[in-house]
Amino acid sequence: MNLSLYGLLHLAENQTGSMDDYAKTYEQKKIFYLISAVNLSRSLRKRGITFTLLTNKKEEIYNDLKSLSYNSFLAVEELDFNIHVPNGIYYYSAHFKLDVFRHLASLQNEAYVGLVDIDMIAINDIPSSFKNLVREKIPVCYDVSDQLIPAFGHDVILQDMQKLSPDICEGRWYGGEFIMGPPEFFASLNAEIEPIYTRYVEIADELFHKGDEMLTSVALEKLRRSGTYIADAGTLGIVGRFFSVPTIRHPQKSFKYFESCFLLHLPVDKDFLAKLIPEQAECRESFLKRYKSYLSIIWFTRGFKKLRKHFILLVKSSPLRKL
């Protein structure tokens, strides 16, 4: 299958991002991401897919990989990142995915390319539906409207998207962890994003979401309305985003459902992914056994803490306490 996947690791000190909750220092965050990228790469290679990590600091990453004895496990390529991203904006480095779109658009010798987040792992063989999409060069993205709409409200999402492009009418939301297609698809995607980026920077503080997903979701609706067919990876079981923490703001299927996905995205389990060894990432059975054990521990701990809190409140409110 003529498919090449890429991930982004843009290194920037003193900027906010999703790793802040898992590691405190720049070096810790970098190593967490690197090990996750290695594990993703090995899991994809096991299933016949090449993966390349795109970065702004190739030499620094190579030195870290060498110190981890992982230097032969990961292909790394340095890009020139040109987009202006305001200092201090949340998900600072994720904005550079827009430069990655331009890079993927330039890969005219490639038949089909894609961008995936590095806190993902391949746990099953490539589905037939995905092979068909690649063969026919049909773009495929991950529609996560069923997660975002219950959490933030459809009116909030739609109104913010219309601030960037008034002709938006559906307000579907696409996750940034899985975007695939031929290079010409990324050229079209980039062509839709460029005219609204300046406006995005101007009003970013007003938007409910800061990052590439806002811009990509607007651009994808505009492409769909102009006649571009874009398949949904979520409903096809190609990718699934699973939260190990309670999803109070949106309903979530049990983990059993996600076990059948080709790619599993674990946005709140970056610490778990960074502690895997490559051999565990390659083997579906080994990964699932370890992850289910991890889930049982954190769920038991969470349940114990909740029970303890309830017990303390019960004791404090008991009439016997006054005796």
CA distance 266 to 118: 10
Residue 175, SS3 per DSSP: strand
pLDDT of residue 23: 73
245-280 per-residue burial string, b: 16 or more CB within 10 A, e: under 16: eeeeeeeeeeeeebbebbbbbbbebbebbbebebeb
What do you get for the CA distance between the two ends of the chain, in Å?
A: 75
313 pLDDT more than 70: no
**How do residues 106-121 score in pLDDT, each as one tens digit?**
999 999 999 999 999 9
Asked if residues 186 and 216 have their Cβ atoms less than 8 Å apart, the reply is no
Q: Which residues pair with 121 in a beta bridge?
A: 264
Give the mean pLDDT of 16-25. Answer: 67
Domains of the chain: 4-282 (3.90.550.10)
Question: What confidence tens digit (pLDDT) does each residue in 69-79 have?
Answer: 998 889 999 99
Q: In this predicted structure, what is the pLDDT of residue 174? A: 97
Q: Is the pTM of this model over 0.85?
A: yes
pLDDT beyond 70 at 17:
no
Compare 14 and 30 and report the one with higher pLDDT: 30
* pLDDT tens sequence across 164-175: 999 999 999 999
42-65 pLDDT, tens per residue?
999 999 999 999 999 999 999 999
Minimum mean pLDDT range among 48-57, 200-209, 304-313: 304-313
* pLDDT greater at residue 312 or residue 153: 153
Q: From 276, 288, 265, select the one nearest 34 (Cα to Cα).
A: 276
The predicted structure's pLDDT at residue 21: 63
Q: Which residue has the tokens 């899985």?
A: 178
What percentage of the chain carries pLDDT values higher than 90? 81
- Identify the pLDDT of residue 249: 86
Q: What count of Cα atoms within 13 Å lies in the side-chain half-sphere of residue 103?
A: 23
Percent over 70 (pLDDT), the chain: 91
Q: Which of 93, 102, 8, 110 lies closest to 49 in space, CA to CA?
A: 110
